[in-house]
Structure 1
C-alpha cells in the first residue's frame, strides 16, 4: 500500500496541472449531469417485511381511499361558543367543499356528516376536519399543499373573532432538513484550527479545498443518482456532514506530515511522495473502516437507511480519493511556501546560541499530559471508566421513534395543530392506528365491523374507535383506533403489541386476519427493526475493529483495548443524547423542540460513523507509539511518550475540527439530524480526548511490552496493512542497493540472507526455514536451484517469484523490493511447473516468453526425463535467455545443469528445511544498508521477565545463545 501510494503521490505532484484540471472537469461534468437528471428527493419510508408495510400495501390495492396520507384542520370555536353555531358551521362546510374540489383530495369528513362524522371534543368547542389524500406524504404536490393552506386561511378569516383554524396532520408531520448559516461556523472554526496547527493561511486552506471538492463531487453524484431510485432528503445532509469532516481531517494528516518532512529539509516532491505513502496509508485504512461501517447499515434491512449509508460511504470514498490525488498536486503547486520557517535561535548556557526545538511548546504540553495520565495508570483507567460509565447511564432509558409533527418548531403551523389536537382531543388523536383485514367471506360486513370495533374499545389504552367500515366492495375492512397515549409513547407501543398478540383470537372468533398499520404503526415497526439490527451490527463492527487493528498493529491487546474504548465512547454518546433529548439538559440552548424519543436510526448511524472516526485516532496515535517501539528500539514506556508527542497535536486538531463540523449541525438542525449530530460531536470529543489521549496511554503503560504481544501463528495467518509507511521506507533504503555491476548490466534477481519458512500447522512446532540464501543474478543470466527434496526448492523459487512471503532477509526482483512490490513482481515473473504442464514444459516456457515475462522460474525440472524432451526444454530456455529473459531452474535429486550453459551458478539448498544453503559459482551481493535497531514483534513480549530488556535489544531473544534478526512484518 505505502509503495503504491508513494508512486501515486510522486506522479500527482509531477502532473499537478493535469490532476487539478481533471478534478475541475469532473466537477463540471458531474454537476451538469446531476442538474439535468435530478428527480427530486423522496422522503417516503418503506420497511419491507413488516406487518404495517404489508398491510399498507394491501390497502393501497383494496381500499385506496384510506391508504394515502391525511391532513387535518382543527377548528376551535370562540370561548363560550360551539361548532354547532351557524357562524362556525357555515364556514367549515364551505371550506370542506373547497377541500373536496382539490384534485388529490379523496375524501373530506366534517362533524356535520351523517356517516363517518369527524370527531368533536367534549363541550363541542373543537372539531377535526379530516382530509384524505391520494398518495403518501411525499407524493402530494406543492400546489395541493398550497391550496390546502389558502383554504384554511380563508376559513380562519371567515370564522368569528376568537375562533381558530389550523392545518396539520401527517402530510405536514416532517419538515425537510436544510442548510443554515450556522453550519458555516463549523467550517470557520476548522479554518482557525488549521491555521494554528499548520502555521499559515495557505497550508490551512488546502484541507478546506480538499474537503469542498470531495463533497462537491459526491453531492452532485447524489443528485444524479435520484434518476435511478428514491433518495431521502436527509441523505445529502449526512453525506455533507461526514464528507466535510473527514475531508478536512484526512488532508490535515497528510499536510502535517508533509510539513514535518519539509522542516527536515526534504525536497518538495519527495516530501509529497513520502507523505502520501505514510499518512496516506493511514488515510486509506481510516476511510475504508468508515466506509465499511456505513455500508454495514444495510444489515437493518431498511432501504432508505441502506441508501443513506451507501451515499455517505461514497462521500467518504471521494474524500480519500481527493486526498490522495488532488491534495498532492496542490501541495506541489504551493511548493516551498509550506516549508516551516526555522525557529529563532536563543541563547543557551554560557551564551551559546541554540536553535529552539520544533514545536517546543506543544511538546512540553503533551509531554506533561502523557506523563500525568501514565504516572498511575490503574488510577487513570478507573477514573475514565467510572466517568464514562456514569455518562452512559441515561442511555439505559433511551427510547427510539420516528419524529412526527410534535417535534417541529413551536412556530410551525403543523406543530401548533398537533398541540391543539392534543389539548382538545388527547394525544392519541395525533397518531391513530389503522386495523385492517380481509372480510370477503363475511355475510354481514357491517355487523362484523361493529363487533370488531367493540372488541377494540374494550382494550386497555384505547381512547376511541371513531371509524369501523368495509370498503365499497365489502372485501376489506378498516377500524380506526385512537390510543390514549401519544404516537411515540410506550402506551401506544404496548397497544399495538396487544392487538397483534390477539391476532389468533380474532382469526378464530371472527375469521378475520387483522393487521395493524398507519403512520404510527409504521414508526413503531421501523424502531423495532432498527433495534433488532443493533446487536448484529455491533457484532460486525466490533469484530471488524478487532480484525483490522490486529492487521495493523500485529498485537492482541491493542485491538482489544481500542475496541473497549470505542464501546465506551458509543455508550457515552448515547448517554449524552438521552440527557439532552429525554431529560432536557441544555435542551433550550440547543433548540430542542420537544423532549421524548430520538429518531430511531440514530444509534446505528452513530455506531457506524463513530467506529470509523475512533479507528482514525487510534491508528494515528498508536502507530506512532508502535513505530518508536518497533523501529527505534525504545522501551515500551518511553515509546508511549515519544509516540504521543509525535501524534497528539495532529489528533487534537483533527478532533476539534470534526467536533466543530458536527456540533454546527446541532443548534439549527432539524430534529432528524440534531440527535445524530450531537451524538457524533460528543462521541468524537470523548473518543479523542478521553479514550485515545487518556485511557489508551494509561492502558499501554500498564501493559508495557505485553501490549505488542501476538501469538506467532496468528501473526502469520493475518494479512498485513502497512499504515506506517514501512514498505516505502524499506524501498527508499534499498533504492541504490546492490549498486552497479562491474559489467554494467542490470540485476534481475538479488537476495541477501533470504529465509523462507517450511510447513506450518498445529503440532508442527516452529517452522524450519530454507536459508539464509544470498545470490546475485544479472538480467538474461541463469541460476540453478538444487535440493534433495522438492519442498525447500519450491518454497525458495516461489519466494523469488513473489508468490510466497519470505520470513527474513532482503530480495529485489527486476529492481522491485519484495514483499512490498509482490504484485508488480508477479506481473513480470512467470512460474512454470514442469509437472503441471501436460508433458510440454518447452511449449509452456515459450508461451511465457511470448507473454512478456522478464524472469522465468521453472520448477521441478527433474520430472522431464528422456534425451529429446530435455534437449527441447534446454532449447526453449536458451531462446528465452537470448530474448533477455532471466531463467531460474529448480530440480530435486537430478541436477538441472544440463538445461543451462556450463558455468551457470548452482544454489544447493541441501537436504531440506533447516539445512545450510551453498552457492557454487555466481556472485554474492553486498550487504544491504542497515536499518535502525528493531524489536522482533513475533515473540512473547508479554513475559513479565522481559520487561527490563535493554533498549534496542529484542526481548524475545534476550539472553539467548543464538539469535536471528527477522524483519518486522507490518
Structure 2
C-alpha cells in the first residue's frame, strides 16, 4: 500500500480528498437515524416503549412548576394568586397543554408551603417539545421576577432535555476547539516543525469527517446516537494522530539514518505501517465486543468507533505515504529552531531521552525488582475497584452541583419525596374499558399505596382506542437508591402481578428512570463476561498471529488487564469515594456510571495495543536481525521512547479535555481513559514491559510446534540496507544484521 501510494501520489491524495468530500456530503444529505427509546433500553423498559411506539402513543414531555414560600401556605390567598398567575402565564404561551392546578390534583406538600403546577409541553416528540419549552421557561421566569418573596421554578423532561442538549452541543464544540490545538501544540514540540505537526492533525480530522458521513449513511440499518458522535471524535482524533505520528517518525528516523527518501518510506511502510494495521485491527476487534451487550446505544458507539478507526488506518497507510513522497524533506519546513534542537531525532537525547535512559538502565539491570515494584503499584491502584458501585446516575448526580436545575430538583424532592422518579406501568389489555380491567386498575392503585413504598398522587391515563392505560406511580427514595429499588421490585413482583396481570390477555411492563437503571444494570452485568471473554480471546489470538509468540501474546493481555484494573481503581476512588475529586472539578457522587467500566475496557484494550504493538514490533525487529533479547528490548524501548511519549501526551490531552466537560458520565470516561493511557505509557511500557521481557529472555519468542499452523501477520520481507554513508551519532539506528550476541546498545 505504501509503495503504491508513493508511486501514484496524486491519485492517492486526490482520491482521499474525493472520498472525504463524498462521504461527508452523502452523509449530510442522508441524515442520521437516531436510536429509539425502545432500542436504547433492555428488559421491561424496552417492552413498554415498544407497546407505546406500536400504538402511536407519544408520551408527552411532563413539566412541573414548584411554587414555594417560607412564610405563606397554599391556603393563603397570596400563595393561591401566584399559582393562578403562573398557570395563566404558562397557558398564554400556547406551548403548554393539560395544565393541572395543585388544588385539583392535591399536589401540595405535607407542610402546605409547597405546591406543584403540572402540565405537558406541546410537541409531537421530545425534540419538538424541547424546541417549544423556552417560551414556557420565559413565562415562568417572568412570574418569578414579579414575586421575589416566593420561589417559582420549573423542572421537567423538556426543560432538562433542553439544558442537556445545549450543554452537549457546547461541550462538544469546546472539546473540538480545545483538543485540536492541544494535539497540534504537542506535535509541534514532538517534531519541531510546522508542516510535520500539521500533517497528522489534518489527516485525523479528515478521517473523522469522512467517518461521520459513513456512519450517517449506515444509520438507516444501524441507528446512531449523539453519544456515538462524541466517542467518534474522542477516539478518532487520538488514534488518527497517533497512527500518523508512528509512521511519520519512523520515516524521519530512517532519513536521519542516511536512507534515501524512497527507501525510508519503504521501511516505514514495512514496520510502522504494519504496526498501525495490527493496532487498528485490534481496536476494531475490541470495539466489536460491544455488540454483545445487546444495547443499541453501545452498538452505535461501537460501530462509530470502528468506522473512524478503519478510516484513520486507511488514511495512514495510503494518503500519508503519498504526502510524504510529495513533500520529501520539505516535511521539515516551518522549523521552530528552539523546539527542533530540543527534539533532534538523530541525537541520543531525542531518541531515548535522559529520563527514559535513567529509568530503563536500572529496570534492565534488576528486572525482578522492577516487576515486583511496578506490579505492586498497579495492584494497589486497582484495589479500590473491589468497592466499585455502578448505577445509572440520577439527574442530580449527572449535572454540576451548582446547576439551577439540580437545586430545583432537590427542593422538589425535599417537599415531595419520590416525585422526581415515578414508575410508569404500561397496561396493554384486550379491552381496557372492561369492568374487570377497571377494577384491576383500581386495585393496583390501592395496593400500591398500601405497600408504604409508593405514594400519591397516582395518575392514570387511558387510551381507549389502543386499549392501553398509562399509570404513573411515585416511588419512595431518590430514584437509584435501595429504597427506590425495593419499591420497584414490590411494584413488579407483587402489585402488578396480583392485579392487572390477573386479567387474561394483559401485558403490564413497568418503566421509568428507576426501572431503566435497574434493567440497564442487569443487562450490563449479564454482558460483562461475554464481552470481556470475547475481547481478551481475540486480542490474544491477534497478538499470537502478529508476533508468532506465546509469551508476547500472554504478556500483552496481562499488562493490558493491569492498566485497565488501575484505571477502574482510580475511577472508584475519585468519582465514587471523592478522593481527589476537586482536582477534576467534580465531587464524589457515590457511584460510577454503569456503562463506563465496560466501555472503558473495550476502548482501553484496543488503544493500549497502540503502544504495545509499536514497541514490541521494534523489539522483534531487532531480535530478528541478530540482537539478544535484552539488547533488543533496550534498543526497542529507547528507539520508540520519543514516539510513545508524544503519542501518550496527545491521548492524555485529548481524553483530559473530555474530563473537563459538564456531564458526570463524560468526566468519568475522559478521566478514566486519560489515567489508563498515562499508566500504560509510563509504568507499563517503561518499566513492566522491559522488565518482564528481560526476565523471560529467549522464552519471549517461544511458539509451540502444535501452533505452527497459525497464519503469520509479519511483514516477512527483509528491510532494505542502509547506505554506507549513514550517520548514526547516537548508536541507536539498527544496522543490518546479523549481530554478535554480546552487542550492547
Q: TM-score range by the shorter chain?
A: 0.7 to 0.9
Confirm or deny that 1:13 pairs with 2:21.
no
Deviation larger for 642-651 or 31-40? 31-40
**Counterpart-to-counterpart distance in 2, 1:530 and 1:166:** 36
Counterpart of 1:487?
Answer: 479
Confirm or deny that 1:286 pairs with 2:279.
yes
CA contact (8 A) 1:183 1:665 kept: no
Counterpart of 2:203?
Answer: 210
- CA, structure 1 residues 494+668, in 2 after alignment: closer, same or farther (shift >3 Å)? same
**Counterpart-to-counterpart distance in 1, 2:463 and 2:181:** 61
Determine helix, strand or coil for the equivalent of 2:318: helix
Confirm or deny that 1:433 pairs with 2:394.
no
Counterpart of 1:405?
Answer: 395
Counterpart of 1:530?
Answer: 524
Determine helix, strand or coil for the equivalent of 1:429: coil
Determine helix, strand or coil for the equivalent of 1:433: strand
CA contact (8 A) 1:405 1:415 kept: yes
CA contact (8 A) 1:42 1:233 kept: no
**Counterpart-to-counterpart distance in 1, 2:210 and 2:678:** 28
Q: 1:296 aligns with which of 279, 289, 308?
A: 289
- CA, structure 1 residues 580+254, in 2 after alignment: closer, same or farther (shift >3 Å)? same
**Counterpart-to-counterpart distance in 2, 1:45 and 1:472:** 19
Counterpart of 2:605?
Answer: 611
Within a 5 Å distance, the mapping from 1:834-873 to structure 2 comes to none
Counterpart of 2:115?
Answer: 127
Residues 209-253 of structure 1 show CA distances to partners (whole Å, capped at 9, x for unaligned) of 221221222234445556767532121111111111011100110
CA contact (8 A) 2:225 2:297 kept: yes
Residues 537-574 of structure 1 show CA distances to partners (whole Å, capped at 9, x for unaligned) of 00011101211111112221221121111111111112
Deviation larger for 247-256 or 56-65? 56-65
Residues 583-604 of structure 1 show CA distances to partners (whole Å, capped at 9, x for unaligned) of 2233334233772433332122
Counterpart of 1:741?
Answer: none
**Counterpart-to-counterpart distance in 2, 1:416 and 1:382:** 49
Residues 932-968 of structure 1 show CA distances to partners (whole Å, capped at 9, x for unaligned) of 449xxxxxxxxxxxxxx9669xxxxxxxxxxxxxxxx
Residues 348-385 of structure 1 show CA distances to partners (whole Å, capped at 9, x for unaligned) of xxxxxxx9955477355433322222333333222223
**Counterpart-to-counterpart distance in 2, 1:62 and 1:221:** 32
- CA, structure 1 residues 507+717, in 2 after alignment: closer, same or farther (shift >3 Å)? farther
Confirm or deny that 1:682 pairs with 2:675.
yes
CA contact (8 A) 1:69 1:171 kept: yes
Counterpart of 1:421?
Answer: 412
Counterpart of 1:742?
Answer: none
- CA, structure 1 residues 86+38, in 2 after alignment: closer, same or farther (shift >3 Å)? farther
Within a 5 Å distance, the mapping from 1:492-641 to structure 2 comes to 492-502=484-494, 504-506=497-499, 514-592=508-586, 595-632=589-626, 634-641=627-634
**Counterpart-to-counterpart distance in 2, 1:275 and 1:438:** 64
**Counterpart-to-counterpart distance in 1, 2:195 and 2:245:** 13
Query: How many angstroms does 1:684 deviate by?
Result: 0.7
TM-score, length basis structure 1: 0.68
Deviation larger for 135-144 or 503-512? 503-512
Query: How many angstroms does 1:13 deviate by?
Result: 2.5
**Counterpart-to-counterpart distance in 2, 1:578 and 1:147:** 41
**Counterpart-to-counterpart distance in 1, 2:309 and 2:80:** 58
Counterpart of 1:69?
Answer: 61
Counterpart of 1:81?
Answer: 72
- CA, structure 1 residues 472+189, in 2 after alignment: closer, same or farther (shift >3 Å)? closer
- CA, structure 1 residues 645+674, in 2 after alignment: closer, same or farther (shift >3 Å)? same
**Counterpart-to-counterpart distance in 1, 2:134 and 2:182:** 40
Residues 11-39 of structure 1 show CA distances to partners (whole Å, capped at 9, x for unaligned) of 32333333333333334333433444435
Larger radius of gyration: 1
**Counterpart-to-counterpart distance in 1, 2:507 and 2:188:** 66
Counterpart of 2:732?
Answer: none
Determine helix, strand or coil for the equivalent of 2:473: strand
Counterpart of 1:23?
Answer: 16
Counterpart of 1:336?
Answer: 329
Query: How many angstroms does 1:46 deviate by?
Result: 2.9
- CA, structure 1 residues 56+580, in 2 after alignment: closer, same or farther (shift >3 Å)? same
Within a 5 Å distance, the mapping from 1:639-658 to structure 2 comes to 639-658=632-651
User: Structure 1: which 5+ residue stretches go unaligned?
Assistant: 1-7, 344-354, 734-930, 935-948, 953-970
- CA, structure 1 residues 136+592, in 2 after alignment: closer, same or farther (shift >3 Å)? farther
Counterpart of 2:373?
Answer: 383
Query: How many angstroms does 1:263 deviate by?
Result: 1.1
Counterpart of 2:87?
Answer: 96
Residues 587-639 of structure 1 show CA distances to partners (whole Å, capped at 9, x for unaligned) of 3342337724333321222111111111111111122222222322x322222
Determine helix, strand or coil for the equivalent of 1:588: helix
Counterpart of 2:141?
Answer: 153
Counterpart of 1:370?
Answer: 360
Q: 1:165 aligns with which of 146, 152, 162?
A: 152
Cα RMSD over matched residues?
Answer: 3.3
**Counterpart-to-counterpart distance in 2, 1:356 and 1:219:** 39
- CA, structure 1 residues 648+361, in 2 after alignment: closer, same or farther (shift >3 Å)? closer
**Counterpart-to-counterpart distance in 1, 2:252 and 2:205:** 22
Determine helix, strand or coil for the equivalent of 2:127: coil
- CA, structure 1 residues 82+281, in 2 after alignment: closer, same or farther (shift >3 Å)? same
**Counterpart-to-counterpart distance in 2, 1:387 and 1:516:** 46
**Counterpart-to-counterpart distance in 1, 2:82 and 2:402:** 25
CA contact (8 A) 2:97 2:122 kept: yes
- CA, structure 1 residues 335+37, in 2 after alignment: closer, same or farther (shift >3 Å)? same
- CA, structure 1 residues 36+98, in 2 after alignment: closer, same or farther (shift >3 Å)? farther
Determine helix, strand or coil for the equivalent of 1:213: helix
Counterpart of 2:384?
Answer: 394
Query: How many angstroms does 1:137 deviate by?
Result: 6.7
For CA contacts below 8 A with separation 6 or more, give which structure has more relative contact order: 2
**Counterpart-to-counterpart distance in 2, 1:38 and 1:472:** 33
Determine helix, strand or coil for the equivalent of 1:124: coil
Counterpart of 2:728?
Answer: none
Residues 637-690 of structure 1 show CA distances to partners (whole Å, capped at 9, x for unaligned) of 222212221222211221111111111121134333221111111111112211
- CA, structure 1 residues 39+251, in 2 after alignment: closer, same or farther (shift >3 Å)? closer
Q: 2:246 aligns with which of 245, 249, 253?
A: 253
CA contact (8 A) 1:63 1:471 kept: no
**Counterpart-to-counterpart distance in 2, 1:666 and 1:532:** 28
Query: How many angstroms does 1:445 deviate by?
Result: 4.6
Greater fraction of residues in helix? 2
Greater fraction of residues in strand? 1
CA contact (8 A) 1:156 1:164 kept: yes
Determine helix, strand or coil for the equivalent of 1:139: helix
Counterpart of 1:451?
Answer: 443
Deviation larger for 689-698 or 132-141? 132-141
Query: How many angstroms does 1:262 deviate by?
Result: 0.4
- CA, structure 1 residues 593+717, in 2 after alignment: closer, same or farther (shift >3 Å)? same
Counterpart of 2:730?
Answer: none
- CA, structure 1 residues 193+438, in 2 after alignment: closer, same or farther (shift >3 Å)? closer
Within a 5 Å distance, the mapping from 1:270-281 to structure 2 comes to 270-281=263-274
CA contact (8 A) 1:449 1:470 kept: no
**Counterpart-to-counterpart distance in 2, 1:38 and 1:443:** 48
Residues 790-840 of structure 1 show CA distances to partners (whole Å, capped at 9, x for unaligned) of xxxxxxxxxxxxxxxxxxxxxxxxxxxxxxxxxxxxxxxxxxxxxxxxxxx
**Counterpart-to-counterpart distance in 2, 1:546 and 1:649:** 27
**Counterpart-to-counterpart distance in 2, 1:92 and 1:594:** 37
Determine helix, strand or coil for the equivalent of 1:218: helix
Confirm or deny that 1:697 pairs with 2:687.
no
**Counterpart-to-counterpart distance in 2, 1:557 and 1:359:** 31
